Amino acid sequence: MATIHMYSRTLLICFLLFLVLPGIIMLSVQEKEISEAEKRPLAELPVLDGSLESIQAFPDRFNTYFNDHFGLRDFFITLHNSAYTRLFNSSPNRNVIWGKDGWLYLASSGNFSDFLGQGITEHETIVRFGNELADRKKWLEQKNIRYLFVPVPNKIQIYPEYLPGHFTARAGVSMLNQLTRHADSRGAEIPLLDLVPTLEAAKQEEQVYYRSDTHWNYAGAYRGYSRIIHHLGNWFPEQRPLTRKQFATHRSKYPGDLASMLHLEKVIEEYDEYPTVQKPCHGKGFSRIVWPYGNEERGGETAAYLAECYNKPLTVFILQDSFGRHPSLFFAQQFGKTYVFPGSDFRDMVPWIEEIHPDLVIDLHVARNVPQALKSHRNVKKAVAKQLFKEAPHTIFNFSPGGSISQPVHPVNASLSPEGIVLAENNDPQLILSLPPLEAFKDLTVHISMSSPENSVAQIFYDNQQAPSFSEKHSHSFTIQKGKNHIYLRAPFPDTTTSIRFDPGNTAGTYTLSDFTIKGFQTEPTGKN
């Protein structure tokens, strides 16, 4: 009995001590403001200002604050993750894959599903990406500006051999592979530089990505930079990449972002060779630029940095995500003016491009960010579609009052007169249009001239081989204004489409459809589109 009492008392005391210790430490230790490991500011103690909002929000905010600051936080996290990885040889964080020999991989952001070939699987999405690149090239060409899109392969694609075996066995076709194959099939129309062969060859000689980080290391970044400059030789023959001899390197510890995600950045050690230029060019290193205009499409400011080499030619814009950080060190020594836009994409760049008129725009993003990087700028898309429409020699489909080519149009929830008057009975008027075969054409564009009773949203649905009936997934919508509208757009439907459904708006009323025309270019006989 005495032993039981002793046990119970010991349990009681230890339990109470365990409960109060973190609170005591929290009160006695100075609060941290920033978590270096998590790369974010830690929550502040919430303040009650007497307002109802502050009272209602207080519990959640205090909870967040406590979770960020309770005593022994770092100790518990490191203990858990260290023990977990030692016991189970796997990652305690679902966003990180624990590979062989200390290699870590990002699992989230679609990275792993893309590796398995389960990411972007629809060919029409790849075609849309290709069209976006072609449109950017065309728009910039009119301003005498060169454009190059450089998707940097995800680490998992270059170093799959360190993944767990049952993952590697399930490797599929990644989005990047699909895009590069599609770009190859369209030739010079799509200005894409594939770095996969370069990095796969380079890894035989040296490590090109960090083990504990998502990014390429300086060796990999140099290889990428060098390949880009060689490619630019097609346009700017004087351009030569810097050689390795022009750099000195010094070795230092590198805390990988994936190791930080596991809070094991002090446990998993890695080193990198930081390069510094032995004889920098005569000019200025990167400094922040203040741009007076906001981000046109997305709102907010665009961050920009400028480096200059006074005795070198070319003004170059580099739109980049974090994968541009390492190669920007080399680019800064390469061009007369190097503007770097971290965290920006093409949509942010249009006013900058129109203001500064660079010689070249390099669009550099890691493969998992490509879908985000290839979002269109509304006005650029419209301008290119209008130009393509005007240039296209073949009219494939036409509906217009008194037009020479009449095609069957079947209205639903509406009536359609030969003069093009569409009387919508409810807020879902539909016009079903049967199309002739489209396989013999490319660069299909659509012109719609119509008037709308209200500001509304029009939509084009299309069938395809996998889905013969119309659905939201296979559709494209766009806003229309009350009154007259002239819409130019690249045909959102693939060349296997046999019919489309055009919803002129989502309000009842009277629409007037003056013109619905699809034009295109003949596909070349070699089969290259």
Partner 1 sequence: MVFSSLLFLFLFLPLVLVGNYLLPFRLRNFFLLLTSLFFYTWGENVYVLLMLLSITVNYAYGRFIHGAPFPLKRFLLATGVAVNLLPLLYYKYFEFFCESLEDLISLPAKSYEIHLPIGISFFTFQAISYLVDIYRNVAKPQNSIINLGLYISLFPQLIAGPIVRYGHIARQLTDRKVNSDLFGKGVERFIIGLSKKVLLANPLGSMADTIFALPAEALTTPVAWLGISSYTLQIYFDFSGYSDMAIGLGKMLGFSFPENFNRPYTALSLRDFWTRWHISLSTWFRDYLYIPLGGNKRGPARTVRNLCLVFLLCGLWHGASWNFLLWGMLHGFFLSVERTYFGTWLQQRSYIIRRLYVVLVVMFCWVFFRAETLTEATDFTAALAGTALSSDIPAKVLLGLTPHFLFVFICAALLATMPTGQTTRNLSARVTSVSPRVFSLTARLLSLFLLLGATTSSLATGVYNPFIYFRF
Chosen residue from 31, 38, 44, 355 binding partner 1 by CB under 8 A: 38
360 vs 314: CA distance, rounded Å: 8
Angle, helices 378-391/123-141, rounded to nearest 10 degrees? 80
Segment near partner 1 (CB under 8 A); pick from 254-262, 275-283, 442-450, 518-526: 254-262
In whole angstroms, how close is the CB of 180 to partner 1 at the nearest point?
A: 21
Q: At 271, list the tokens.
A: 């080193």
Chosen residue from 150, 261, 332, 435 binding partner 1 by CB under 8 A: 261
65 vs 55: CA distance, rounded Å: 15
The neighbouring-strand residues paired with 304 are: 289
The answer to whether residue 345 forms part of the interface with partner 1 (CB under 8 A) is no
Q: Return the SS3 of 362.
A: strand
C-beta closer to partner 1: residue 417 or 466? 466
Chosen residue from 20, 29, 267, 356 binding partner 1 by CB under 8 A: 20
Q: At 177, list the tokens.
A: 């592979």
Chosen residue from 29, 31, 32, 39 binding partner 1 by CB under 8 A: 39
Within 10 angstroms of residue 432's Cβ, the number of other Cβ atoms is 15
In whole angstroms, how close is the CB of 168 to partner 1 at the nearest point?
A: 12
C-beta closer to partner 1: residue 257 or 308? 257
C-beta closer to partner 1: residue 21 or 248? 21
C-beta closer to partner 1: residue 3 or 404? 3
Residues 6+ apart with CB under 8 A from 168: 160, 161
Binding-residue pattern over the window 95 to 124 for partner 1, x denoting contact by CB under 8 A:
--x--------xx----xx-xx-x------
242 vs 223: CA distance, rounded Å: 11
The answer to whether residue 263 forms part of the interface with partner 1 (CB under 8 A) is yes
Angle, helices 346-356/378-391, rounded to nearest 10 degrees? 80
The answer to whether residue 372 forms part of the interface with partner 1 (CB under 8 A) is no
Per the CB < 8 A criterion, the answer to whether 366 and 114 are in contact is no
The neighbouring-strand residues paired with 457 are: 479
C-beta closer to partner 1: residue 7 or 310? 7
278 vs 274: CA distance, rounded Å: 12
Residue the block writes with tokens 């999405």: 125
Half-sphere exposure of 412 (CA within 13 A, CB side): 9
The secondary structure element, H or E, covering residue 517 is strand 509-522
In whole angstroms, how close is the CB of 33 to partner 1 at the nearest point?
A: 11
Segment near partner 1 (CB under 8 A); pick from 15-23, 306-314, 405-413, 416-424: 15-23
Residue 268 identity (one-letter amino acid)? I
Chain positions 55 to 94 lying near partner 1, rule: CB under 8 A, are 56, 59, 62-63, 66-68, 70-71, 73, 76-77, 79-81, 83-84, 87-94
Chosen residue from 3, 30, 252, 526 binding partner 1 by CB under 8 A: 3
C-beta closer to partner 1: residue 27 or 290? 27
Residue 416 identity (one-letter amino acid)? L
468 vs 265: CA distance, rounded Å: 52
C-beta closer to partner 1: residue 88 or 310? 88
In whole angstroms, how close is the CB of 54 to partner 1 at the nearest point?
A: 13
Chosen residue from 157, 180, 217, 260 binding partner 1 by CB under 8 A: 260
C-beta closer to partner 1: residue 7 or 271? 7
Torsion of CA 491, 494, 497, 502, to 10 degrees: -30
Q: What is the DSSP letter of 240?
A: -
Binding-residue pattern over the window 421 to 460 for partner 1, x denoting contact by CB under 8 A:
----------------------------------------
In whole angstroms, how close is the CB of 320 to partner 1 at the nearest point?
A: 12
488 vs 490: CA distance, rounded Å: 7
Q: What is the DSSP letter of 445?
A: E
Residue the block writes with tokens 């590979």: 99
Q: At 98, list the tokens.
A: 């624990």
Chosen residue from 214, 217, 338, 451 binding partner 1 by CB under 8 A: 214
Q: How many residues in the shown chain lie near partner 1 by CB under 8 A? A: 65
CB neighbour burial string for 73-108, b if at least 16 within 10 angstroms, e if fewer: beeebbeebeebbeeeeebbbeebbbbeeebbbbbe
Chain positions 281 to 340 lying near partner 1, rule: CB under 8 A, are 322
The answer to whether residue 23 forms part of the interface with partner 1 (CB under 8 A) is yes
In whole angstroms, how close is the CB of 37 to partner 1 at the nearest point?
A: 6
Per the CB < 8 A criterion, the answer to whether 304 and 288 are in contact is yes
> Phi and psi at residue 423, in whole multiples of 5°?
-100, 110
Q: What is the DSSP letter of 204?
A: T
Binding-residue pattern over the window 141 to 180 for partner 1, x denoting contact by CB under 8 A:
-------------------------xx--x----------
The answer to whether residue 465 forms part of the interface with partner 1 (CB under 8 A) is no
In whole angstroms, how close is the CB of 80 to partner 1 at the nearest point?
A: 3
Dump the DSSP string for 341-355. EET--HHHHHHHHHH
C-beta closer to partner 1: residue 123 or 482? 123
Q: Which residues form the interface with partner 1 (CB under 8 A)?
A: 3-5, 7-12, 14-16, 18-20, 22-23, 35, 37-41, 56, 59, 62-63, 66-68, 70-71, 73, 76-77, 79-81, 83-84, 87-94, 97, 106-107, 112-113, 115-116, 118, 166-167, 170, 214, 257, 260-261, 263, 322
